[in-house]
């Protein structure tokens, strides 16, 4: 048996035992898995690598932390309640349109940041109470938010896995918008209608109004929405106008949070933000654990071994692996799936079929994004579950049919890349 395979089995074994038998958190289980892999691989306990792995996602962790502060401000100031009331009272007569629009709202932050986490934490958290209020069960609302956030992450203009895959083969990130829209929009619309439409018939607006806080909007007026407006404006302007000072996502969240301190209900910011951070720490720790795990997986050669072993099995396997192993790799990291599996798979497909390389890369990137649903990491899924106050398992169950629909759309696209090449112009 290859040493790399033994390392891989040791890492997975220790991770699973730690998490499922000893019931340690995912983050610590991943750390112990990483240490086991390093020991078996003859690297001792590589402190430097363990630390380096934890710092991989430091930017993402800062974004998540500041986004949580923003969400706390929006919730506690009353802006969220006011927005819920406004959306429901305006769109309740056309439920399908209302749901599709809400889905686009969920997707929007993901589209401009390339991060499903940002989408869940910002727009997802704003829309969740609306979905619950109109009668969609918690587990389905969680699934809508999770899939919506992932569709936002996959939709143009920013799709990070597509950039990672393209970067790996010297392919500029140009011409991806058409294929990515074709992949994401139908899936987003299907998901929200499939999961939510049957709960939106015969909405009793008076009953809904009685559940909504319509007073706070009247009390503070338009200024209540200022933090959200500042956030959207700064995010859009910093992407659309290169000459605008680049503030960065974290600072934009902080500025928007600061604005929110003066636009609505007063609250104890220090206490509320500390509470918010406490709920965020497990996710941050999970990212650190994932970083350690991949670092050691690479250090001992198991990452390379996995890919080469997959490639050796032929084209049919490559196609099957694209729609199974690649999203499953998202359990560790969807970005990792793009760089570790996406790049060689794209090379394989370009070399062995007469396909349109941009459409193929877009499909691979889309499939990688779906990995954000995969437990235990499941960034989008876990946060969506937290927002609807459930464990992830029931939310995940409701994601299965939309996930399979997304895979079906991706399969159709990858089998017809040349017919879709007009979208790349």
The residue within the footprint of other proteins, chosen from 32, 303, 365, 372 (CB under 8 A), is 303
How many residues sit close enough to other proteins to count as binding (CB under 8 A)?
56
Residue located via tokens 């927005």: 83
The residue within the footprint of other proteins, chosen from 35, 296, 385, 413 (CB under 8 A), is 296
CB of 40 to other proteins, least distance (A): 11
How many CA atoms lie within 13 Å of 68's alpha carbon, on the beta-carbon side?
21
The residue within the footprint of other proteins, chosen from 23, 48, 93, 266 (CB under 8 A), is 48
Stretch that binds other proteins, among 141-149, 208-216, 259-267, 332-340 (CB under 8 A): 332-340
- Kindly tell me which of 340 and 387 has the beta carbon lying closer to other proteins: 340
Rounded to whole angstroms, how far apart are CA atoms 125 and 101? 15
Contact string (CB under 8 A) for other proteins, positions 255-294, x = contact = ------------------------------------x--x
- Closest to 134 measured CA to CA, from 175, 179, 99, 177: 99
Contact string (CB under 8 A) for other proteins, positions 65-104, x = contact = ----------------------------------------
- Burial of 247 (C-beta count, 10 Å sphere; 0-12/13-18/19+): middle
- What is the footprint of other proteins within residues 219-258 (CB under 8 A)? 238-239, 242, 246, 248-249
Return all residues near 218 (Cβ < 8 A) that are at least 6 apart.
none
- Burial of 177 (C-beta count, 10 Å sphere; 0-12/13-18/19+): middle
Stretch that binds other proteins, among 71-79, 162-170, 217-225, 416-424 (CB under 8 A): 162-170
- Kindly tell me which of 17 and 311 has the beta carbon lying closer to other proteins: 311
CB of 140 to other proteins, least distance (A): 33
- What is the footprint of other proteins within residues 164-223 (CB under 8 A)? 164, 167-170, 172-173
Rounded to whole angstroms, how far apart are CA atoms 224 and 218? 10
- Kindly tell me which of 276 and 294 has the beta carbon lying closer to other proteins: 294
Using rule CB under 8 A, residue 348 touches other proteins: yes
| Rounded alpha-carbon distances, angstroms, from residue 107 to 60, 148, 176, 201, 388 | 18, 5, 17, 24, 17
Supply angle C-alpha 220, 221, 223, rounded to 5: 85
Structure tokens at 396: 């995940």
Q: Phi/psi zone of residue 248: left (φ > 0), alpha (ψ -120 to 50 degrees), beta?
A: left
Rounded to whole angstroms, how far apart are CA atoms 51 and 69? 26
The residue within the footprint of other proteins, chosen from 178, 336, 376, 381 (CB under 8 A), is 336
CB of 225 to other proteins, least distance (A): 24
Rounded to whole angstroms, how far apart are CA atoms 336 and 164? 9
Sites of contact with other proteins (CB under 8 A): 3-4, 41-42, 47-53, 55-56, 59, 114, 158, 160, 163-164, 167-170, 172-173, 238-239, 242, 246, 248-249, 291, 294-301, 303-305, 307-308, 311-312, 336, 339-340, 343-344, 347-348, 351-352
């Amino acid at each position: 048996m290859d040493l790399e395979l033994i390392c891989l089995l040791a890492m997975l074994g220790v991770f699973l035992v730690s998490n499922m038998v000893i019931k340690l958190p995912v983050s610590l289980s991943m750390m112990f898995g990483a240490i086991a892999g390093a020991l078996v691989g003859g690297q001792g306990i590589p402190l430097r690598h363990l630390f380096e792995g934890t710092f991989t996602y430091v930017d993402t962790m800062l974004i998540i932390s500041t986004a949580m502060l923003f969400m706390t401000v929006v919730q506690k100031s009353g802006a969220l309640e006011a927005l819920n009331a406004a959306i429901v009272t305006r769109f309740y007569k056309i439920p399908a349109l209302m749901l599709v629009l809400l889905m686009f709202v969920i997707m929007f932050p993901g589209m401009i940041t390339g991060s499903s986490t940002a989408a869940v934490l910002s727009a997802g958290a704003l829309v969740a109470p609306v979905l619950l209020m109109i009668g969609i069960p918690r587990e389905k609302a969680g699934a809508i938010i999770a899939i919506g956030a992932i569709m936002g992450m996959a939709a143009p203009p920013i799709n990070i896995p597509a950039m990672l895959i393209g970067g790996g083969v010297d392919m500029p990130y140009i011409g991806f918008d058409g294929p990515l829209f074709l992949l994401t929009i139908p899936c987003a619309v299907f998901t929200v209608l499939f999961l939510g439409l049957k709960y939106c018939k015969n909405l009793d607006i008076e009953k809904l109004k009685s559940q909504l806080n319509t007073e706070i909007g009247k009390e503070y007026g338009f200024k209540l929405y200022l933090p959200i407006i500042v956030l959207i404006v700064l995010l859009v302007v910093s992407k659309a106008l290169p000459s605008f000072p680049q503030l960065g996502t974290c600072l934009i969240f902080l500025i928007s949070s600061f604005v929110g301190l003066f636009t609505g209900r007063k609250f104890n910011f220090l206490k509320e933000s500390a509470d918010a951070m406490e709920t965020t720490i497990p996710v941050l720790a999970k990212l650190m654990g994932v970083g350690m795990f991949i670092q050691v997986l690479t250090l001992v050669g198991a990452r390379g071994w996995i890919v080469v072993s997959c490639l050796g099995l032929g084209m049919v396997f490559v196609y099957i692996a694209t729609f199974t192993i690649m999203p499953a790799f998202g359990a560790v990291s969807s970005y990792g799936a793009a760089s570790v599996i996406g790049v060689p798979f794209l090379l394989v497909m370009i070399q062995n079929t007469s396909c349109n390389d941009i459409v193929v890369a877009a499909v691979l990137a889309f499939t990688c994004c779906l990995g954000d649903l995969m437990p235990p990491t499941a960034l989008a899924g876990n946060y969506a579950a937290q927002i609807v106050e459930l464990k992830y398992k029931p939310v995940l169950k409701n994601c299965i049919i939309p996930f399979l629909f997304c895979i079906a759309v991706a399969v159709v696209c990858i089998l017809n890349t040349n017919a879709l090449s007009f979208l790349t112009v």
